Structure 1
Amino acid sequence: MLHGLIGSAAGDQNPNLSSKGDRIAYGSGRTGHPEIWISKIDGSQPIRLTQMGGP
């Protein structure tokens, strides 16, 4: 889990830093379904990359 880094009560997991170290990619269930997200390294400006709508 990314406690204190990503602002979500959902189960955020599997964080990975970008090669430049300025972004973080992670899985999150914040939409109600597992999706892949990216954010700035401080957790701001989250962007959902997938729209799978289910498992």
Structure 2
Amino acid sequence: FSAGTSTYVIQDGDSLWRIAEQKLGNGLRHAEIKLANPNVNLDVLKVGMEIRLP
């Protein structure tokens, strides 16, 4: 990940909706997380995965 990029490490029980709600302020923004991670399969979240946040 490049400097200045916001990242998040997947925790047990996370979903894209929940991450978007907690980190971006709105669960509807979950699609933006997918766009920020084009090479990552976000359909299967694994504990410890590091993803980019928009």
Higher strand share: 1
* TM superposition score normalised by structure 2: 0.24
Higher helix share: 2
* TM superposition score normalised by structure 1: 0.24
